[in-house]
Homo-oligomer: A and B are copies of this chain.
């Protein structure tokens, strides 16, 4: 056989992304072979090279897309003229909501940074900094306005991001707590931690 009936390039490309994401998250970039990805897609390893020039490019694509999706989703939520507290509340709830429904992509984006070659690393890191700056900006404004009590906005931002992103270490779909409830808990802790 060579070409399957009903085969379509766009579909295959999407399935490659999908299955790579799952496999990288489950076993790690280095532990997953091109043959494993191909097998999950239902294709031979050589077929992957019609869509990605290297294995590394699959990873870079997944990570960049994740960060760009995150930034785009946050941009949709953003509102001008909010109080610092309202902005921080919005940020916390958005972060939890966005992250718990994308466990695999989040996992990869934090774990596989070291698997990136310099060029891809720089690109992904730049996107991450953009997102971090959204939170830092909220905290800095809040500190200036006297709404937040914090000596080191940078450290506070790192602490809050770590706390929020940590939700993925324990949250599993269909668990006891609803997404709303989890947002409530984290919002509460984040707000209190800076007030």
Give residues in A with beta carbon < 8 Å to B: 26-28, 30-31, 111, 114-115, 151-152, 154-156, 158-163, 165-167, 169-170, 177, 182, 185-186, 189-190, 192-195
Contact = CB atoms under 8 A, between A and B. Distances in A.
Contacts of A170: 154-155, 158
A163 B158 CA distance: 8
A159 B166 contact: yes
Interface residue SS majority, chain A: helix
B155 A166 contact: no
B158 A177 contact: no
Contacts of A194: 189, 192
B26 A114 contact: yes
Contact of A151 (B160, B163, B185, B193): B185
**Most-contacted residue by chain B among A151, A161, A166 (CB, 10 A):** A166
Q: Kindly name the residue among A31, A115, A158, A189 whose own CB sees the greatest number of chain B CB atoms within 10 A.
A: A189
A114 B27 contact: yes
Contacts of A27: 114
A113 to B, nearest CB: 10
Most buried by B among A156, A163, A169, A186: A163
A170 B128 CA distance: 13
Given A30-B31, A189-B194, A193-B189, A169 B162 contact: yes
A40 to B, nearest CB: 17
